[in-house]
Amino acid sequence: MFLIKNPIKFFVDKFNELLLKTLILVKRITKNRYWSTYFADKIIFTINKLVKNEFIPNPKEHLYVEVTNICNLRCRFCAYSKSTNEKIVMPNQKFFDIINQATEFGYHTFGLTPIVGEVFVDKNFMEKIRFLEQHPKVKNYSFFTNFTLANEEIIDQILKTKKLHEFFISIYGHNEKAFINFTQSNSKT
């Protein structure tokens, strides 16, 4: 017979382990990466909060890499138009070097969302995605986009990714007129 010092914590840890295994199975069955991960995290967070478990995320887990600071829109609420920074797209080789160095330091998840800018302005963005997909130490990555520059080929490539964890599309306005008003652009942007 063994003595459990903290039976509640022991139960919660075992429950979390079982729940995680169940959600991984559900994720595989449904192939819905985003929602199963979201609900798993939400449930585990709620249980840990109830039993007063603390969780401090690993600061070397996630790294944001700004692949470009150029945007194709001029949204009214965005600081992009006020920026005095040089407008650049990160060359592929520099991106590859950064990812390789970061993985050596222990980073394994990456955010590609610029502070201001649109990832698809980078004509080589899908090459960067392919590099992340093939890198053995990259667990996953995510990005935001206004998606106005994406074409069918890009969409097909995105749908084939395995490591894309989160993909957010910003939508401005409920119709074309509102879009043009928000983004100060035209309908073909």
Please list, residue by residue across 39-49, b when 16 or more beta carbons sit within 10 angstroms of its beta carbon and e when fewer do. ebeeebeebbe
Of the pLDDT bands very low, low, confident and very high (cuts 50, 70, 90), residue 81 is confident
What is the phi/psi pair of residue 146, to 5°?
Answer: -85, -10
> So what's the pLDDT on residue 145?
94
Neighbours of 141 (CB within 10 A): 25
The average pLDDT across 133-145 equals 96
Average pLDDT (128-156) is: 96
Paired tokens of 135: 């890198």
Nearest to 67 by CA among 116, 9, 101: 116
Contact of 109 with 141, CB cutoff 8 Å: yes
Residues in the chain: 189
- SS3 category, 118: coil
pLDDT at 94: 98
Question: DSSP string covering 10-64, please?
Answer: HHHHHHHHHHHHHHHHHHHHH--HHHHHHHHHHHHHHHHHHTT------TTSEEE
Q: Would you identify the CATH topology of the domain 62-183?
A: TIM Barrel (3.20.20)
Q: 20 phi and psi, to 5 degrees?
A: -60, -45
pLDDT for 32 beyond 60: no
